[in-house]
Amino acid sequence: MSLSTYPVDQLTPDQAAEELACLANLIAHHDYLYHQLATPEISDADYDALVLRNRAIEARFPDLRRSDSPSLRVGAAPAAGFKKVRHHKPMLSLDNAFSPEDVTDFLNRIRRFLQLPEDQAVEMMAEPKIDGLSASLHYQDGRFVLGATRGDGSEGEDITHNLRTVKDVPLILQGEHIPQSLEIRGEVYMRRDDFLSLNKARTAAGEPEFANPRNAAAGSVRQLDPKITAKRPLHFFAYAYHALPGDRKDQTQGDILESLNRWGFSVTRLRQICQNEDEVMTFYHQLESIRADLDYDIDGVVYKVNNLEWQNRLGAVGRTPRHSIAHKFAAEKAETIVEDILIQVGRTGVLTPVAILKPVTVGGVVVQRATLHNEDEIARKDVRIGDHIEIQRAGDVIPQVLRVFPEKRLPASRPFVFPGSCPVCGSAAVRTEGEVARRCTDGLVCPAQAVERLKHFVSRQAFDIEGLGEKHIETFYQEKLIRTPADIFTLETRDRQSLTPLRNTEGWGEQSTRNLFQAIDQRRTISLDRFIYALGIPQVGAVTAKLLARHYRSLTTLTQQMTQAQDQNSEAWKELLALEGIGANMASDLVGFFRQPHNIEIMEALSALLTIPDFIVEATISSPLSGKTIVFTGSLPTLSRAEAKAHAERRGAKVTGSVTSKTDYVVVGKDAGSKAKAARELGITILSENEFVALMGKP
């Protein structure tokens, strides 16, 4: 295949298609040489000639434009909205370390999980943590076909057209040993000098400035018009990839980075293999010392187990990989003034004090609020209105008050008096003995709690309804359009019958109203774990919600079991407590939630309007253990308890902490105690570690 010398207006469709394929590959090759290797083979004028030839042929034969066409670098037609993309493998979030002790604990957890000697080195790859937007790129036969944001880790947004405009994103991969089906993970970011130039241009155009390079990058890739994205100076660093097992030849994280670079991706050169804690901390301090001199923002160092086989064995817990951690740089601090102290009422009725601050910039972000946690914290630090205080902000964490400067305090200053009643509904606010929280006692009628529950219901890890944000919830609640979660899903029907439809109200129109109703309809089918999380059960976060969904499998079973568990002598109560990660306190909150008639009414109303499929545990490895309930007891000879549990769960098994009549296998090790005895009494199959390994197959 080669370029023709015919004038464009003399090409046949077949000749044009052949030449466009040739141009796509040729321009991708020169992009790779220029951007990745800095060794161009042709002049800028010759390169421009290729691009112009490609553009001219596409103008004459628009139907022949390829999905990997170089012309897409300048943007495609605007999109109506962002489609949702389900990630084949979840995009996990890293745990954070803030001290050398946290890093040591991380390495010790790895040694315990893998049952390594305490003095054995755990070789780590240390890389800078780029402060950008995570993205997933999919390639088929070496050609870019799909790009998505992280989203909630399970589901992101399709930003393919926008990512095609980023010059660091190869449209066609180069080099050898490229897997047929390939997913690249990396970070979209903006360099500091480009960010400053962009803000300068926005100011000149009368547009608001971006707060920092990360916000600028995130806003740029979420433009509905890719031509706008194409004008933004975006870059991409790749740091990982996924492929089918037979297509993956790399053995270490270092190998992965070399492969990514060979295929045409930019990867960080600021990386180092570290054998122990001392080497890790040395690299951390080296990066911290040059942080300000880099041309892009980093907010820490990521440590990854270098051995990919170990990475696979370590797996993940919840939404977090066990094999990696982000060591964040020290929090940035600033001094400001407390202009007021407000009391916010959360969805569970907790009264939380918030300091309203004189605006101050911390880490490139303007901060106007800081949490004061609770009344004991206010008293301990003696924070008062008018005080000069020091605040800190680490990453995306809500700013915190570190200390007060009493020497700058005004003479008329008075200690803050925490209210004994709810500032919203006026009901008594009480503290239960042993708790630091003060709660509003009238959850059923308190508007603040109702609004916060609704906000939680539509939040990102819950129903995640696009176009129905916190401000909309507040407005709809005040206007009595949405008072319960079920009202969200009857809104369109009621709107059709209304004399004042939403499209005629301020801030809404035909298109925006239609988009909202479509977004609501898209969430009429919701996964069980998201539904459980959306209910706002005290102490039940996204990880616990998935644990409950995985164990009980259906909303009907969960409701029945929680109802039966109200009797603490029941099998249902024992089964709940047997779940690892659920203690007596959380179990009481769970059972208490299902004890309240109004909570059951909410679930029944939603069940009538929604489809909530049973939770399917997808075993990543086929095994006879799929669907079985297993208990481990005693010390196993070669596997740590954590690794044995991970192996079982990857094969679709449920692992609990107590033996009940529903237990299928009890795996016993050295010094097995009462659980082994209970298994014998109940006639449950007892396995040794060797028998367990033989049953599950290859680890």
Catalytic residues: 129
CA atoms of 501 and 498, how far apart (whole Å): 5
Residues 6+ apart with CB under 8 A from 443: 348, 349, 449
Phi first, then psi: give them for residue 596, nearest 5 degrees: -80, 125
Cα–Cα distances in angstroms (integers) from residue 530 to residues 50, 56, 100, in the given order? 50, 50, 35
Answer for the pair 140, 296: CB distance below 8 angstroms, yes or no.
Answer: no
Helix (H, G, I), strand (E, B) or coil at 300: strand
Torsion of CA 167, 168, 169, 174, to 10 degrees: 110
Sheet containing 133-140: give its strands across: 143-149, 133-140, 181-190, 234-243
Task: Tell me how crowded residue 336 is: count the other CB atoms within 10 A of its CB.
Answer: 22
Pairing of strands 133-140, 143-149: antiparallel
Task: Tell me how crowded residue 241 is: count the other CB atoms within 10 A of its CB.
Answer: 21
In sequence order, the β-bridge partners of residue 193 are: none
Helix (H, G, I), strand (E, B) or coil at 359: strand
Phi first, then psi: give them for residue 597, nearest 5 degrees: -60, -40
Helix (H, G, I), strand (E, B) or coil at 699: coil
Residues 6+ apart with CB under 8 A from 425: 440, 442, 445, 446, 447, 448
Cα–Cα distances in angstroms (integers) from residue 575 to residues 615, 656, 664, in the given order? 18, 8, 13
For the chain, the 3-state helix, strand and coil shares in percent, each to the nearest 5, are 40, 20, 40
The gap between the terminal CA atoms of the chain, to the nearest Å, is 48
CA atoms of 387 and 369, how far apart (whole Å): 14
Angle between helices 542-552 and 555-564 (to 10 degrees): 90
What residue type is 511 in one-letter code?
A: Q
Answer for the pair 371, 400: CB distance below 8 angstroms, yes or no.
Answer: yes
Q: Which residue is associated with the tokens 């609990």?
A: 656
The residue ranges of DSSP E strands in 279-321, in sequence order, are: 298-305, 316-317, 320-321
Check residue 292 and report its DSSP letter. Answer: G
Task: Tell me how crowded residue 180 is: count the other CB atoms within 10 A of its CB.
Answer: 12
CA atoms of 37 and 172, how far apart (whole Å): 16
Answer for the pair 150, 135: CB distance below 8 angstroms, yes or no.
Answer: yes
CA atoms of 183 and 87, how far apart (whole Å): 10
CA atoms of 65 and 51, how far apart (whole Å): 13
Answer for the pair 184, 155: CB distance below 8 angstroms, yes or no.
Answer: no
Pairing of strands 324-328, 95-97: parallel
Answer for the pair 106, 303: CB distance below 8 angstroms, yes or no.
Answer: yes
Helix (H, G, I), strand (E, B) or coil at 245: helix
- Its sign, for the CA torsion 598, 600, 602, 605, is negative
Of 222, 215, 219, 232, which Cα lies nearest the Cα of 366? Answer: 215
What residue type is 37 in one-letter code?
A: L
